[in-house]
Amino acid sequence: MTDITAPKPTARRGLGGTVRWDTAVGVLLVLLLLFSFSFVDNFGNALNVSFLIGNTLPIALIALPMTMLVVSGEVDLSVGSTVGLSSAVMGALWNQGMAIETIIPICLVLGVVCGLVNGLLVTRLGLPSLAVTIGTMAAYRGIAQIVLGSDSVTDFPSQYLDFGAGHFGDTFIPYAALPFVVLLAIAVVVLHGTPVGRSLFAIGASEEAARFAGIRVKRLKLSMFVTTGLLSALTGVFWTLHYASARYDNASGLELSVIAAVLLGGIDFDGGKGTLGGAIAGVFLLGTLQNVMSLVNVSAQSQILVTGVLLVISVLAPRVGRQLAQARARKKTATPPLSPAPATS
Amino acid sequence: MTMTAQPVRSESAPRPTASRQFIDKVFKARELAVAVVLVVMLLATQISNGEFLSEQGIKDLLLNSTILVLVATGQAVVVITRNVDLSVGSVLGISAFAAGNYLQSGGNSLIAVLLAVALGAVFGALNGALVSLGKVPALVVTLGTLYVVRGIDSIWVGSRQITADGLPSGFVDFGTNGISVVPYLALLTLAVLLCVGYYLRSYRSGRDMYALGSSPEAANLAGVPVRKRIMTAYVLCGALAGLAGALYLARFGNVDSATGNGYELTVVSAVVVGGVAFTGGAGTVYGAALGALLLTSINSVLPALGVSSVWVTAINGLLLLLAIAVDRILALRVAAVLRKQAAQMRSARHD
C-alpha cells in the first residue's frame, strides 16, 4: 500500500534492468508451453487444452478491466462476488421461469450497477477503493446468498450450455474464446492506443497532475469501475454456463487469482505502469502452470504455494533489481567519469 | 520486542489544542458509536428473545468473539502504520495445527501456546521483512504470503485432522471454562488488548506507529526508525494471530488444513468498522476490538431473532461500507472546521 522512499523510474524493469518484465513473463509462458507440449503427458491433447483455456477464461476476462483499474491506481476486490451475484441471479430468475434471453441482459445490468456503486463510493466520497471493495465484496456475496440460498441451478437450456462448454469442431478452441479475443483486442486498443488509455496511465502516475492536465479523473475512474462490474457479470454468465451450475458461492476467491495474475504480469500495484499483454501473459502463465501441476500430480495445496511464491517474487524481484541498479548508478556517480557523460537516470 | 523502551513522560507531552481535542472527540465518538450500536443490538435481541443473554448466551458471545478480537488487535497495529496483513487467517491455521500436533504427541499445554505464538511471530517477521526491506506494497506481499503459508499448511497437514479427544483435557477445559460467565479465553484476550492499547498510547515506539501511518515521509524525516517499527507491527500481528490459533484449538478442539481460511477479510472488516482508518495513523485497538465484538455478535443475534443466517454476509459488508463512509464524512467535516479555525486565527492576527 505504501511505498515510502523508492523513487519511480519510467518503466518497470526486470532483474537485469534491460529486459522488460512483461516480455520476460511472455517468454516464460512460451517456454512453459513448449516444455509442456513436449514433455508433459496428456498436456497436448485437445481436451486438456480446451479445459485449460476454459478454466483460465474467467480470470482472463476480468483481468482486462482489472489491468486498467490497477494502471489507474485503483483496485476492485469485489469482482469474484459480482461473478457470484450474477450467477445466483441467473439461477434464481431461471427458477422463476424467465427466458434466458431476458435473464442475461438483466445480469449484465446488475453488473453495471455493482460497478457503479463501487465507483461512486470511490470517486464521490473519496474512499480508498481497497476498503470499499472489501465491503462490497462481502455485500454482493451476501446478496447472492440471499437471492439463491444454498440451492444450485443446473437445468439451463442445452444450446446455451453447449456454448459455455463446447469448442469449435475438432479443435481445442472453446466457443467462448472468440468473444474473449474480441474483448482483448478492444481492451488493447483502448489502453495502449487511445487518449483514454494514456489518461489512465497518467492518473496512475500522478492523479493530481492528471487533473491539472485536464483529465476528467473521476469520470474516467467511474467508467472503469462500471466496465469491471459489467465484465464480471458477463464472466458470471459464462461461469454458470461453462460449469452448468448457478450457485451463490461460484468464483469465491477469484479476485485474488485475478490480482495475483495481473501483478505477475508486471502491472505495478502503485499504478501508472504495465501492459495488457503482460497481464494476459501472467494470467495464462498461472493457468498453464496450474494445469501442468495437476497433470503431473502436484497436489492442489502445493499449487497454492507455487502461486504465492510466484506472486511474492514477481513484486520483489523488480524492486530489488531497481535498488541494485540505483546502487550501481550511485557508485558510478561517486567516481566521476573522465568524459562529461550525461547523467543516467 | 520494544518493552525495554521507556514510557513517554506525561510532562513532555504537548498540551492538546482546541482543534486537537475536537478531533479526539470525533474519534472517541466513533468508538462510542460502535459500543452504542452493540449494546442497543444486544438489548433489542434480549427483549425479543429472553433466552439470548442467559448465562450460556453471554459466555458464547464472549467465547465466539475472543479469537477475532485477538487477531483484530494485531491487525489494527499494522493498519495504523498504513499497512495491512492479509496472511493472518493462514497464520492462525498453521499455528493452531502446530500447537495441536505438539499437544497430540504429549506436549505441555503452555509450551504449545508459546510454540503457536512463536510460529506466528516468525511469519510476521517474514511479512515485515518483505514489506520494510523490499519496499513492496503490503497488500500484495501479504496476499502472496497468504497463499504461501496456506500452501505450507496444507502440504504439512494433508488430510490429517486434530480432534478434541487427542488433546489434554486441561487444555480443552481452559478453552471452555471460566470465572462465572467470563471465560478464561476472554480474560486472556482482554489482558492482551489492554497491554497493546497501553503500548500504543504510552510508549514512544507505540506513538511512532501513528506517526508512520499519518505520514511515512514525515516520520522518516523526523527520525522514526521506519523499518524497525513496521517490523515490530508485523511481528506483533503475527504473534497475536499465532496466539489466536492456540486459542482456536482450545476453543474448538478441531483443526484441519482449512482452518482460518478466508478469515483475513473478516478481520480487516472488524478493524475498519472499529474506526481504524485504512489510510493509517488513526484509530485504537479498543475500537478494533469493539468492531470485532460487533461483527461476531451479529452472527449470534440474527439466529436469535429468527433471521436466516444467509443475511450475515450481506450485513457485514454493508456495515463495513457504512463505517468507512461515515468516517470519511466525519473527516471532511473535521477538515472544514479546522480550516475555518485557521482562517479565524489568521484574521485575528491581522486585526
CA B37, B43, B48, B54 torsion-angle sign: positive
Residue A183 sits at the chain B interface (C-beta within 8 Å): no
Is there a contact between A104 and A90 (Cβ–Cβ < 8 Å)? yes
Task: Work out the percent of chain B whose per-residue pLDDT is above 70.
Answer: 91
Q: What was the pLDDT predicted at B76? A: 95
Residues 221-260 of B with CB under 8 A from A: 226, 257
Per-residue pLDDT at B68: 94
Look up residue B178 and give its DSSP letter: E
A6 vs B: CB within 8 A: yes
Number of Cβ within 10 Å of residue A204's Cβ equals: 23
Q: Looking at residues B307-318, what average pLDDT do you find?
A: 83
Give B58's pLDDT tier (boundaries 50, 70, 90). Answer: confident
Say which residues have a Cβ less than 8 Å from residue B152's Cβ, sequence separation at least 6: A305, B94
CB-nearest to B310 from A131, A136, A149 is A149
Which of B139, B147, B262 is facing A305, going by the closest CB pair?
B147
Q: Residue B253: how many CB atoms within 10 A of its CB?
A: 18
Residue B273: per-residue pLDDT? 86
What integer pLDDT is reported at residue B351 of this predicted model? Answer: 64
In one-letter notation, the amino acid at residue A168 is F
In chain B, pLDDT over 90 holds for what percent of residues?
40
| Contacts A300 to B, Cβ<8 Å | 154
Quick one: which H or E segment has residue B182?
Answer: strand B182-183
Mean pLDDT of all residues in chain B?
86
Instruction: Please identify every stretch of chain A with a pLDDT value under 70, giving residue numbers as ranges.
Output: 1-18, 334-345
* A224-233, B23-32, B163-172: range with highest mean pLDDT: A224-233
Nearest CB to A136 within list B279, B312, B321: B321
How near does any CA of chain B get to the CA of A338, in Å? 34
Q: What pTM was estimated for this model as a whole?
A: 0.81
CATH number for the domain formed by residue range(s) A21-326: 1.10.3470
Taking an 8 Å cut-off on Cβ atoms, the answer to whether B314 and A126 are in contact is no
- Residues in CB range of A104: below 8 A, 6 or more apart: A90, A237
- Dihedral, B195, B199, B200, B202 alpha carbons, nearest 10: 130
Tell me whether residues A125 and B325 touch, CB distance under 8 A: yes
Closest CB to A4: pick one of B148, B220, B272: B220
Gap between the Cα atoms of A201 and A68, Å rounded: 9
Chain A contact for B106 (CB, 8 A cutoff): no
What length does chain A have? 345
Which residue type sits at B327? D
A229/A14 Cα distance (integer angstroms): 32
C-alpha A272/C-alpha A280 separation (Å) is: 17
pLDDT in tens, B95-141: 999 999 999 888 888 999 999 999 999 999 999 999 988 777 888 88
- Contact status of B300 with chain A (Cβ, < 8 Å): no
Would you list the domain boundaries of chain A?
Answer: 21-326
Domains recognised in chain B with CATH numbers: 16-350 (1.10.3470)
CB contact under 8 A, A305 and B82: no
- Chain B residues with CB inside 8 Å of A305's CB? 147-148, 150-152, 154-155
Would you call B268 an interface residue with chain A, using a CB distance cutoff of 8 Å? Answer: yes
* Strand ranges in chain A using DSSP code E only, listed in sequence order: none
Enter the DSSP assignment of A272.
S
Q: Report the gap between the CA of A137 and the closest CA in chain B (Å).
A: 7
Residue of B nearest to A135 (CA): B317
- Can you read off the three cell numbers belonging to residue B153? 499448511
Cβ within 8 Å, pair B136-A319: yes
Of A127, A300, A303, the CB nearest to B325: A127
Q: What's the confidence (pLDDT) of residue A330?
A: 80
Model confidence band, residue B298 (pLDDT cutoffs 50, 70, 90): confident
Cα three-residue angle A124-A126-A131, rounded to 5 degrees: 115
Q: In terms of Cα–Cα distance, which of A310, A305, A301, A302 is closest to A283?
A: A310
How distant is the alpha carbon of residue B322 from its chain centre?
19
Tens digits of residue pLDDT in B65-88: 999 999 999 999 999 999 999 999
Q: What is the pLDDT of residue A29?
A: 93
Residues 280-299 of B with CB under 8 A from A: 280
Contact list in B for residue A146 (CB cut-off 8 A) is 310-311, 314
pLDDT digits over B199-230, tens only? Answer: 999 999 999 999 999 998 899 999 999 999 99
Contact (CB<8Å) B272/A307? no
Q: Do B134 and A146 touch (CB under 8 A)?
A: no
Cβ contact A304–B279 (<8 Å): no
Predicted local distance difference test score (pLDDT) of residue A9:
43
The Cα B70–Cα B86 span in angstroms is 15
- Residue B24: the pLDDT is 64
Q: List chain A residues with CB under 8 Å of B280.
A: 2
Residues within 8 A of B (CB atoms), A 290-319 only: 299-309, 311-312, 315-316, 319
Instruction: State the DSSP H helix or E strand holding residue A22, giving kind and residue range, or none if neither.
Output: helix A21-39
Identity of the amino acid at B165: D
With 90 as the cut, is the pLDDT of residue B241 above it?
A: yes
Report d(CA B212, CA B225) in Å as an integer.
9
- Three cell numbers, residue B232: 515490530
Question: Over the stretch A1-33, which tens digit does the pLDDT of each residue have?
Answer: 444 444 444 444 444 455 788 888 899 999 999
Check if B160 contacts A (Cβ < 8 Å): no
A104 in Cβ contact with A230 (< 8 Å): no
> Which value does ipTM take for this structure?
0.78
Partners of residue B326 in chain A, C-beta under 8 Å: none
* CA atoms of A306 and A135, how far apart (whole Å): 28
Q: How far apart are the C-alpha atoms of B67 and B203, rounded to whole Å?
A: 26
